[in-house]
Each structure stands twice: as structure tokens, then as C-alpha cells.
Chain A
Amino acid sequence: AQSVSQHNHHVILSEAASLELGCNYSYGGTVNLFWYVQYPGQHLQLLLKYFSGDPLVKGIKGFEAEFIKSKFSFNLRKPSVQWSDTAEYFCAVTEGGGGNKLTFGTGTQLKVEL
């Protein structure tokens, strides 16, 4: 079974600092990769997704992620975080070619301080 690892459980940054959140998955075949964000008290929303093509994916609110197949990684980045980025971030994966299960990592709690 596929699994997703997010190694940073809690991250605290100052505004304008750069962000990189790690995500590694275990499945060796074709995968589809997602980053979701959960703002305090809200449901999950999609930040960005990778299915195929350019491994550098741009999402909403200035976020981007890079798929590195050789490292089984899909790290999330943002050059300059804002206080409003305070949220929990989840990496998720489905197996390509018709896999139905969306498997989530354990999440990274990001706090951005003014």
C-alpha cells in the first residue's frame, strides 16, 4: 500500500521568510500528487496538483511544488510567506491509471508570525 510521509510536523516562520515543506511517497509506479491546505476551522482546499508533464507545478496563492521522481518527493515551496498562510498543509497521492484511494500524509502545521 502506498504511504505518504511529511517529516515536518510543526513549522514556525516569520513573515517574508521562505517556506519548504517536505513530502515523500512510497509508491513506485505512476502517481498523482496533491497539496491541500486547511485553514483554522475550515475544510481542506486544493493548493496544487501534479498529474504529468512539467514537474514544477504552480498553485494558488504563490505556492509551487516540484515533483522529483528519483527521490519520490513532492516538496511544497513559497518564496515569501504571509501571516494568512498559517494553516495545516497536507500532501496526498493517488496511484495513476485509475487508483481510487487518496492517501494523505500526517500534515504540517505552519504558523507564520508577524
Chain B
Amino acid sequence: NAGVTQTPKFQVLKTGQSMTLQCAQDMNHEYMSWYRQDPGMGLRLIHYSVGAGITDQGEVPNGYNVSRSTTEDFPLRLLSAAPSQTSVYFCASRAGTGAATEAFFGQGTRLTVV
């Protein structure tokens, strides 16, 4: 059981470039979300989805887009990369219809924008 798979693991971008971080889960979870992790700031929610075709903004959505065309996949798009987007990005998925479920995390993508 692969769980939550993120690609790539590492990426370096130039300012202004765009890219897509991939996230896939094989647990048939309804909820998926993207976080960024920065030193001293914990994990901050970027975007989340409660099911295919439904997405919503989190705490820090600016500069990022998401879509959820299937239950399994939840890609995160950086439209025009900026140095402030240098961070470690984690995708997570959760099951169920309520709040009392465990989140499973991917291995993370370390992104550097130069």
C-alpha cells in the first residue's frame, strides 16, 4: 500500500517559472490538502479538497492553484514562482466525512526558488 505519493522530492526553479507538484493517494480518501512547512511556522494550509471537483482555499493560497478531477490526485500548481515560495511542501489525505480522522502525509517536496 503506497499511501500518499508526492513527486518530485526536490526541485529548483527560477523566479517566474511555473511547475506542478504531484500528489496521489491510493486509500480512496475524500479529503486531500496541501501544506507548506517553513522553519518556526509549522505547517500552513495552502488549499484543500473535500472530494473530486471541490476545492477551497486555506491559510496561504496566494500564488498557488489546485484542481481535483479524480479522488486519487490533487496537484498543486505554482503559477509564477517567487523566492518566498521556497519551502517544503506536504500533501495529506484523510478519510471519512467528519473531522475525527487521521491525516496521512506524503514524503514532501523540497522546493527552492532562486
Q: A residues near B, CB below 8 A?
A: 4, 6, 9, 32, 34, 36, 42-46, 49, 51, 90, 92, 94-107
Residues from chain A with Cβ under 8 Å of B108 in the complex: 43
Asked if B92 lies at the interface with its beta carbon under 8 angstroms from chain A, I say yes
Complex Cα distance, B102 from A32, in Å, reads 10
Return the contact of B102 from the options A46, A96, A99, A100 (Cβ within 8 A): A46
Any A CB within 8 A of the CB of B100: yes
- Report which B residues bind A (CB closer than 8 A): 31, 33, 35, 40-45, 48, 50, 58, 90, 92, 94, 97-100, 102-103, 105-108
B48 / chain A contacts, CB cutoff of 8 Å: 100-101
- Bound Cα distance from A51 to B98, whole angstroms: 11
Tell me whether B106 and A100 are in contact (CB under 8 A): no
Contacts of A43 in B (CB 8 A): 90, 105-108
B99 adjacent to A95 (CB under 8 Å): yes
- In the complex the two chains form, is A98's CB within 8 Å of B99's CB? yes
Chain B residues with Cβ under 8 A from A106's Cβ?
40-42
Contact check, B31 vs A44: say whether CB atoms are below 8 A apart.
no
Most buried by A among B40, B48, B103, B107: B103
Q: Is chain B's interface secondary structure helix, strand, loop, or mixed overall? A: strand
Query: Shortest distance in angstroms between A89's beta carbon and chain B's nearest beta carbon?
Result: 11
Cβ–Cβ contact B99 & A49, under 8 A: no
Q: Judging by beta carbons under 8 Å apart, are B50 and A34 in contact? A: no
In the complex, 30 of the A-B residue pairs with CB atoms within 8 angstroms, ordered by the A residue number, are A6-B42, A32-B100, A34-B103, A42-B107, A43-B90, A44-B90, A44-B92, A44-B103, A45-B105, A49-B102, A90-B42, A90-B43, A92-B103, A95-B99, A96-B98, A96-B99, A96-B100, A97-B99, A98-B97, A98-B98, A100-B31, A100-B50, A101-B48, A102-B45, A102-B94, A102-B103, A104-B42, A104-B44, A106-B42, A107-B40
Residues of A contacting B43 with CB < 8 Å?
Answer: 44, 90, 104
User: Other than the known A97-B98, A102-B92, A104-B44, what 18 A-B pairs have Cβ atoms closer than 8 Å?
Assistant: A9-B40, A32-B99, A36-B103, A43-B107, A43-B108, A44-B90, A44-B92, A51-B100, A90-B42, A94-B100, A96-B99, A98-B97, A98-B99, A100-B31, A104-B35, A106-B40, A106-B41, A107-B42
